[in-house]
C-alpha cells in the first residue's frame, strides 16, 4: 500500500504579469507535511512545472498506482478559465490551471485533468488540493497572522492569450484586466464527479484564492490555514473534520474565500490520508 504525492508550486509566470510570491512556499509546506505522514513526495517548482511536466508527472503518479494506494496532488498557482470547446460545461467555460509556460503552451483545462484521472485503477484513493482561483459562522483569522500584500491567484485571459484569441462575447473587453463572466463555475464539481474521491479547494465556485505575507512569510491563505488546522486533528479525524477545522480560520476580513470539500458521503467520513 504505497503513499505518494506530487506538490506543485508556481510563483514565476514569464511573460504574464501575474507572478505570485507564496506558491513555492505552499508546495514545500505541503511536501513537508506529507513526508511527515510517510508519503513519498515529488515536487514541481516554477520552471519545472511546465504544462508537459505537470501532465507527465500526474500521469505517472496516477497511472502507476495500484489498489489501496493513497495519492495526493497539491497545486498552488494561478487558475483561469477558457471558452468551453466541446459543449460539456453549462456555463460555457472550462476551468484551468496555469503552468509555468502558460504564455507559450497554454493552460491545463479540466477536460485534460479528467482524462488523466480516468487512468486511475479501482481502489486507488486520490486527494487533490487546489490553492488557486477557479479551483461556506466562522472564527476569523488571528489578527497577528492576517498578513499584508494580499493578492489574488487568478490569471485573466488577457494576460496570456493573444488579443485575437480572447473571446469578445464572453469577456466583454480586451485587456490585462479581462475577468471571468458572470454565472456559476464548478471545477470542484467536475473533479469530484471524475475522481469519486476527495477535492479540497481553496475557494467556492467562481470565487478567488488569495495569498499574502502571513507571519512574515509569503503563503497562500488556504494552504497556511489548512496545514494549521491539520496539526490540530486527532488521529482518527475525517476529511469532514478537517474541513470544519479550516473554516475556523477562513473566510476572514483579509481573505474573503470559503474553502470547499467535495466528496461522496462515504469519502467525507474517510480518515485523512488513509
Helix axis angle, 221-230 to 239-246, nearest 10°:
120
Q: Cβ contacts of residue 165 below 8 Å, gap of 6+? A: none
Report, as an integer, the average pLDDT of 9-32. 93
Q: What does the pLDDT look like over 85-140, one tens digit per residue?
A: 544 444 445 678 899 999 888 889 887 888 888 888 999 999 999 998 655 212 22
**SS3 at position 199:** strand
Kindly report the pTM of this predicted structure: 0.80
Domain limits, the chain: 3-268
| Nearest-angstrom CA–CA distance, 11 and 77 | 7
Q: What does the pLDDT look like over 65-89, one tens digit per residue?
A: 999 999 999 999 988 876 655 444 4
Q: How much of the chain, in percent, has pLDDT values that exceed 90?
A: 52
pLDDT at 106: 87
pLDDT at 90: 42
Q: Which CATH architecture has domain 3-268?
A: 3-Layer(aba) Sandwich (3.40)
pLDDT at 207: 74
Tell me the pLDDT band of 161, cut-offs 50, 70 and 90. low
Please say whether the dihedral angle defined by the alpha carbons of residues 266, 201, 184 and 92, taken in this order, is positive or negative: negative
Q: What does the pLDDT look like over 165-201, one tens digit per residue?
A: 555 544 444 333 334 333 333 444 445 444 558 889 8
Is 49 a residue whose pLDDT tops 90? yes
Tell me the pLDDT band of 17, cut-offs 50, 70 and 90. confident
pLDDT at 203: 85
Average pLDDT, rounded, for the chain: 80
Strands 108-109 and 125-131 come out as unpaired
Report, as an integer, the average pLDDT of 130-152. 51
Residue 235 C-alpha cell reads as 488521529
Strands 70-76 and 79-83 come out as unpaired
Q: Cβ contacts of residue 96 below 8 Å, gap of 6+? A: 79, 80, 81, 82, 107, 108, 109, 110, 134
| Nearest-angstrom CA–CA distance, 131 and 153 | 8
CB 79 within 8 A of CB 97: yes
Amino acid at each position: 500500500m504505497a503513499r505518494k504525492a506530487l506538490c506543485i508550486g508556481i510563483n514565476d509566470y514569464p511573460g504574464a504579469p501575474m507572478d505570485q510570491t507564496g506558491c513555492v512556499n505552499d508546495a514545500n509546506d505541503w511536501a513537508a507535511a506529507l513526508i511527515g505522514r510517510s508519503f513519498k513526495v515529488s515536487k514541481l517548482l516554477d520552471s519545472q512545472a511546465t504544462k508537459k511536466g505537470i501532465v507527465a508527472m500526474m500521469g505517472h503518479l496516477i497511472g502507476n498506482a495500484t489498489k489501496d494506494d493513497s495519492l495526493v496532488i497539491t497545486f498552488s498557482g494561478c487558475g483561469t478559465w477558457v471558452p468551453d470547446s466541446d459543449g460539456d460545461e453549462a456555463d460555457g467555460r472550462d476551468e484551468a490551471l496555469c503552468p509555468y509556460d502558460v504564455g507559450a503552451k497554454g493552460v491545463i483545462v479540466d477536460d485534460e485533468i479528467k482524462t488523466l484521472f480516468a487512468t486511475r485503477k479501482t481502489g486507488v484513493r486520490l486527494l487533490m488540493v487546489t490553492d488557486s482561483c477557479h479551483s461556506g459562522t466562522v472564527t476569523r483569522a488571528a489578527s497577528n497572522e492576517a498578513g499584508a500584500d494580499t493578492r489574488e491567484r487568478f490569471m485573466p485571459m488577457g494576460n496570456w492569450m493573444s488579443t485575437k484569441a480572447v473571446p469578445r462575447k464572453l469577456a466583454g473587453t480586451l485587456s490585462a484586466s479581462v475577468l471571468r463572466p458572470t454565472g456559476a463555475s464548478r471545477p470542484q464539481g467536475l473533479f469530484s464527479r471524475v475522481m469519486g474521491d476527495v477535492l479540497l479547494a481553496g475557494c467556492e465556485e467562481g470565487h478567488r484564492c488569495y495569498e499574502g505575507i502571513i507571519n512574515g512569510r509569503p503563503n497562500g491563505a488556504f494552504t497556511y490555514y489548512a496545514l494549521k488546522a491539520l496539526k490540530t486533528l486527532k488521529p482518527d479525524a475525517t476529511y469532514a473534520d478537517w474541513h470544519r477545522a479550516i473554516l475556523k480560520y477562513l473566510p476572514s476580513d483579509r481573505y474573503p474565500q470559503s474553502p470547499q470539500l467535495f466528496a461522496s458521503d462515504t469519502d467525507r467520513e474517510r480518515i485523512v490520508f488513509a
